[in-house]
Amino acid sequence: MRKHKLLKSLASLQVPAIGYGIRYEFGIFNQLIRDGWQVEVTDKWLKGGWPWELPQPDEACFVGFGGHTENYSDQKGNYQSRWIPGEQAIGIPHDVPVLGYRVNSCNRLRLWRADATESFDFYAFNIGDYYGAVEEKVGSETLSKVLYPNDGTDEGRRLRLKQQHFFVSCSLQDMLRSLKKREIPIEEFPNHWTVQLNDTHPAIAVAELMRLLIDENHFGWEKAWKITTNSVAYTNHTLLPEALEKWDLSLFASLLPRHLELIYEINRRFLQQVRLRYPGNDLILRKLSIIDEEGNKAIRMAHLATIGAHHINGVAALHSDLIKRQLLPEFAELWPQKFTNVTNGVTPRRWVALANPEMSSLVTKHVGDEWITNMELLNKLEELENDSSFLEEFRSTKLSGKRKLAGYIHRQTGILVDPSSMFDVQVKRIHQYKRQHLNALQVITQYLRIKNGQAQGMAPRTVIFGGKAAPGYYMAKLIIRFINGIAEMVNADPDMDGRLRVVFLPDYNVKLGEQVYPATDLSEQISTAGKEASGTGNMKFAMNGALTIGTLDGANIEIRQRVGEENFFLFGKTESEIMELQNNNYNPKDFIEAIPELSETLRLVQLGHFSNGDVDLFKPLINNLIENDPFFVMADFADYLRAQDNVSRAWTNRAAWNRMSLLNTARSGFFSSDRSIREYCESIWEVKPLPVEITCDVN
C-alpha cells in the first residue's frame, strides 16, 4: 500500500490486509530556509530507533540483480529459462501493527530492510582493501537508505529501479510463502491475494510475479498469466508525463535481464491480440506497445501495469475520465470493462478527531461519536446551520486553532500574525502545475492595491504557504525564493499592518498539517484544470471547516458538488478550455496586455522590488510566464482575482461565513477513506470484512 491511511481504514473496516514498502532510513529531506532559498538537510527517520516495529529475520527474502539468463530443457523436455543474478540482497521484514478503530482487527505494514548476503570480506580487509571489504554491505544497504533518491543521474535512476524491484520481489515472495505455509495451492493465489499497484512504482510486479510462477514454481505461461491478471489491479495517481515511469532499455537489461525477456513475451502476445482487433493498424501498435520505440527505447511501466491488471482506476471522477480520454484512450477502447473510478479519501480519525479535538468535541456533543467511523452522520450538523449560538461555538473552535498556529508561526519564523485575520493557506508540494506562483502574484496585486489606496473592502489576510520542492527542480525552488521575497517586503511595510501578512512555513510535513488544517479559513486549490489527479489536502481542509477557492480540477469538482456551489469559490478555465487554448497556440501576452493590474504586478517583479534590486533573480520565472506559461497562470489570473474579491466580500459577513464553514464540514463525509476502501472492496477486490471476535473465559 502506498497510503498508510488506507491501511487504517482497512483495519477499522475489519478487512484483512498487508501493506508493503521499504523501511527507509532517511526521508527525502528536511527543509531549511536560508536567505529565502530552500536548503535540504538529512531527514533521519530512524534516529533513535522506532519502538513500533517488530523485525522478523526468519522471514527474510533473497532478491537478485544483474547477471544473465540461460536456457535449458526440463525433465519433460520443455524449454525453460533460468536467471543467474550477478548480485543479491536480502530483504529483512519489519512489521508495524496497524490497529482498527474500536474493533479487534489489527493489520500489518511490512517494511523491508536491505542487507548484504556477505557483510564483510575478510580476505579483502587483510590485503588492505578496506573499502572492498565492506563494498557489498554498503551497496546492498543503499537500497533502503533514502526515500526517492535523485533520479537526475544515471546512478540515481539505477538505484530507483533496484529499490522498486527489491520491495516488489520481497513482497510477492512473502505472499507466495504464506500460501505454502497454509498448504494452499498456488493456483488459488487470486482467491487469497489481490495486489494493488499504487502508481507505476511497483509495476514491475507484473513481470516479477510471472517470473516467480514460471521459473520458480514451473507453471506454464497461460496458467501463470491467468493467475497474474486475476491478482493485479492498478491505481493511477498522475497524468503528468514525467511521473509516468519509463525505464531505458539498456538500464533495465543490465539490472533485470530475465524480467526483460518476460516483458518482451508479454508484449508480443498482447500485440498479437491488438493486430486481430485492428488489422493493419501499425500506429495503434506503436501507441499500445509496452516498448516505446521513439528515440532511446524504453519500457512504459504504465502500459505494463495496464496490460497486467484486471482493473485500472483513477482517484477522482475527472481524473478517471482523463485516464480514459487522454492518458490511455486506446486501452480504454480495447478493455472498457477494466476502467473505473475510486475517489480518494482521508481518515477522519487523524484529520478531524485527533487534529482538531475542540471541533470534534463540539460535533460529538451534538451528533454523538459514531461520526468518527461513519462520516455521513456529519450531515446532521446541517440542522444547526441557522443556530447562531452553535455557529459561534463552531467559530470559536476555528479561532482556537488559529491562535495555536499563530504561536507556531511566531516561534518558527519570528513573524507575528493576527488570528482574527483570514488565514488563507496553500500547503502542498511545490510544483508549477499546483501554481503557488499564481497565488504569489495575486498577493503582489493586493499589496499594490493597498499601496495605491484601492483596498476598500479587502479582507485582512494572513497568506500562508508551505511545501517542499524536489532537490533537482530549479523552477520550484525559485518559486519558494519568490514567495519569501514577497514576504520580506510585505511584512516590513507598515502600510500592510493589520491588512496583509505573508508566511512561508519551513519544512512543511504531514505532522505540521495537523496544526494547519484546523486553523485554515480559506483553502487554496488552484492547480491548472486537468493536472491534479485528486488531492487529499482539499478534503482535509473542507472537513475542518475551511472554504475552498479552486479550479475544476481533481476532487475539487466533487467537493464543490457535495458542499454546494454557493459554499465554494470557483474560478479558472475548465480542462476543455485549457485544451482549446493549447490547440489555438496560446499566447500569454494577450492576457497580460488585457489586464493592467497584472502588467503592473509583473513589472514590479521585473524591477527587482522583491529581490533587493536584483533584476535578474526572478527573470527565469517571469520570462517563463510571459513567453511560455505552460500551466496557464496568465490565462486564469483575472478570474482568480475576481474570485479573491468575492472571498473578501464573503468574509465581511461573518455569520454567513460561519454558516458556509459549517456546511463544508457537514457535507464532507463522502471524502472519508472508509468510503474509498468500501468501494475498492466492492468494485475491485471483491472482499468482505472478516470480524475478529474475542471471548474471555472468566474461569
The catalytic site residues sit at: 237, 428-429, 434, 536, 540
CA atoms of 107 and 109, how far apart (whole Å): 7
**Please, what is the angle between helix 388-413 and helix 510-519, to 10°?**
140
Return the C-alpha cell found at 340: 473505473
User: What strands, in cross-sheet order, belong to the sheet with 500-505?
Assistant: 500-505, 461-466, 422-427, 522-525, 547-550, 568-570
Q: In angstroms, how far is CA 226 from the centroid of its own chain?
A: 31
Amino acid identity, residue 200? T
Question: 266 with 304: CB under 8 angstroms?
Answer: yes
Question: 88 with 64: CB under 8 angstroms?
Answer: yes
Phi and psi at residue 78, in whole multiples of 5°? -80, 140
Among 190, 164, 195, smallest CA distance to 179 is for 190
- Give the dihedral of Cα atoms 681, 683, 687, 689; nearest 10 deg: 40
Question: 141 with 117: CB under 8 angstroms?
Answer: no
Among 563, 562, 555, smallest CA distance to 536 is for 555
CA atoms of 214 and 208, how far apart (whole Å): 10
Question: 676 with 6: CB under 8 angstroms?
Answer: yes
Which are the contacts of 189, defined by CB distance < 8 A and separation ≥ 6? 175, 176, 179, 227, 231
SS3 label, residue 29: coil
Bridge-based pairing of strands 30-34 and 37-41 is antiparallel
Return the C-alpha cell found at 176: 507466495
